[in-house]
Every structure is written in structure tokens, then in C-alpha cells.
Amino acid sequence: MIAGPVLAIETSCDETAAAVVEGRDVRSSVVASQADLHAPYGGVVPEVAARHHLGTVNAVLDEALDRAGVAAGDLVAVAVTQRPGLIGALLVGLSTARAFAYARRLPMAMVDHLHGHIAAAWLNPVALDPPFVSLVASGGHTRLDLVRDLAAPQLVGQTIDDAAGEALDKGARLLGLGYPGGPALERLAAAGDRAAHRFPIALAGKGVRDFSFAGVKTSLMYAVREAGDLDDAARADLAASYQEAIMTPLAERLVAAARQHGVPAVTVGGGVAANGRLREMVTAKAEAAGLRVAFPDRALCTDNAAMIGAAAQFTPLVEWPGFVSLDAMPTAPPGGIAA
């Protein structure tokens, strides 16, 4: 563990974020969202995201230090998301962190974004220690990791096509909802009947830990076409049934993986972890199996820098000035967490 306050920066997609983390304590966490900028396009535009990061990151960084009551001279390290993500967005955060650390002769932790989502549950007040199984479900990733050591999560399952968050966003678009689609679909689904439609759950064999969401997305597309003009009740039923078909394998395979590997707890990270129905399902299934359920605060499920500060505690530091030659990477190594 790093002994002292760490400045963390996250710019992997469309959130400009900075935080000060000291051990398990989040002393500040600031997130500037770009959702309104990308809403007219129905999704994140990489060039728009990078330009907005460039104009926002310094102010966000300063606010994080101010809220934490920490001066730059009090910091002992800088952490930044190195991968995976949009390359232009990543480069803004990495360049900012590298310049900040170089000027102050501080070491840097080059953090994997997915490692951050896993480590978020380690922070106070959740304070989950290994061993556990982690589900990370977001717009770009869906994976299960067996975590016996937070420095080396072990991949045990992942999506073979679409990510869960991507499927939710595309489903929302098919139902005529706005961006971001996941929260809009959840709101609509709250008024619907989850059993009104039977959408397929792919890879349903016993012992399967991987995920597939391309088929359920296609099924929704055909259901919308066949229905023709949809009233509010019909749209709500489709949303509720579609959401259920996505959340069911996430919850079931998370709990099944924990039982298979004999660990006592499960946790969920990533933007989809903010979904209320997923939280209900995971809680019910985990408690029925005698497992502890640990959910980070919703603000620590969506992209943020506090989780990057948490993962930095388990990532080797690169001493000054060795980090100058290190670059951003749009993808993670196959199957693993970059550390």
C-alpha cells in the first residue's frame, strides 16, 4: 500500500475525473460528465471527448486537491488510467499526470481501468478484502474475475461479443429512448412486466461463465419491428423483459463463479452496477447462497478517479523519471489486467 495521499486521474472515455485517495479513504472525488455533449449523437464521439478532456482536466484536478485539503507538496504519488479506453482521451489524462509528476519528482502508477472497477469495493466504507469474485459490467466490458490477490485478478469469464452496457444502450435506442440509454431503459422498465416477453439468454449451459448479448439485442429489434406502433405500456413491457434477460446471466454467473471457487463474497463494478434491478438480483441470489454482497456507492461504479487511486495501491510504482517514456494503450492485454 502507498503510504500517503495519491492524486488519481481518469480520462478513459467521456468522464473527466480526479481524486485524492489515501489508503482506503477517498479524500475527494470530482467527476465532470460529458453526457450532454454526446447526447445529440446517441453515443460517445472520441474526438469530442478528447477535446473536452483537454479543456477540463486541469480545473478538475485543482478542485480535487482543494476538496481534499491537500497541497501538491503533500502528495506521495500520481496514478493515472493507462488502458484500456479511447486513445485520444487516455492521452490527455496521461500527459497531464506525467507532467504533474515529472515537475514534482513523484512516482507514478500506470493503472488499468478495469483493475480500478475491481478495486473500487476495497475502498471505505465497503472495505472488501479478498477473496471474492468481481463482476465488471459497463458499456465496453463485461467480465468475471476471481480475486484472491488484488494485485493479480484472475479472469474466469467474459463477453464473447457485446458488453452488457452496450446492449442496454442499443436496446434503449431501439425503444426510442435518449442517451445515456442504460438509465433511461431502467426508468422505463420500472413500469413494465418483466415476464411479458421471453428474450433468449445465450450460453445457458451449466458451468458456463462467459456472456453473450448480441442475440438478445437482435431479438428486441425484431420484437419492436413486429409490434409496430408501441404505446407506453407496451414499450415498458419490452424494456422490463429485455433488461431482465441481460441482468439474469450477470447475477447468476457471478454467484455461480463464487460458489465454484469457494469464496465468501461477490462484488459488482462498472456503470451497469448502478442498475437497481441488477443489485436486487445479485443481492437475492448471493444471500440465498450464503455469500456476502458488496456494492460500491453508485458514484464509484461509473467511471471515476477514486477507483484508479484504489487500484494504484496494488500497482507497481514507476519511479521518476522512468514513466516519461510510457504511453497510453487503447486495449488491455488478452484476458488479463495490466499491472
Judge whether residue 59 has pLDDT over 90. Answer: yes
For the stretch 65-124, pLDDT in tens is: 999 999 999 999 999 999 999 999 999 999 999 999 999 999 999 999 999 999 999 999
d(CA 62, CA 30) in angstroms, rounded, equals 10
- Please name the residues in contact with 283: beta carbons below 8 A apart, sequence gap of 6 or more: 293
Taken in order of first residue, the domains within the chain and their CATH numbers are 5-118+301-325 (3.30.420.40), 130-295 (3.30.420.40)
For the stretch 270-284, pLDDT in tens is: 999 999 999 999 999
Judge whether residue 132 has pLDDT over 80. Answer: yes
CB 101 within 8 A of CB 7: no
For residue 152, the one-letter residue type is: A
For the stretch 157-206, pLDDT in tens is: 999 999 999 999 999 999 999 888 999 999 999 999 999 999 999 998 77
For the stretch 68-79, pLDDT in tens is: 999 999 999 999
d(CA 263, CA 131) in angstroms, rounded, equals 6
Confidence (pLDDT) at 323? 95
Judge whether residue 135 has pLDDT over 70. Answer: yes
Considering the entire predicted model, what is its pTM? 0.94
Judge whether residue 339 has pLDDT over 70. Answer: no
CB 283 within 8 A of CB 266: no
- Mean pLDDT over residues 30-39, rounded? 90
Query: CA torsion, points 98, 100, 101, 104, in degrees to nearest 10?
Result: 150
pLDDT band at 338, cuts 50/70/90? low
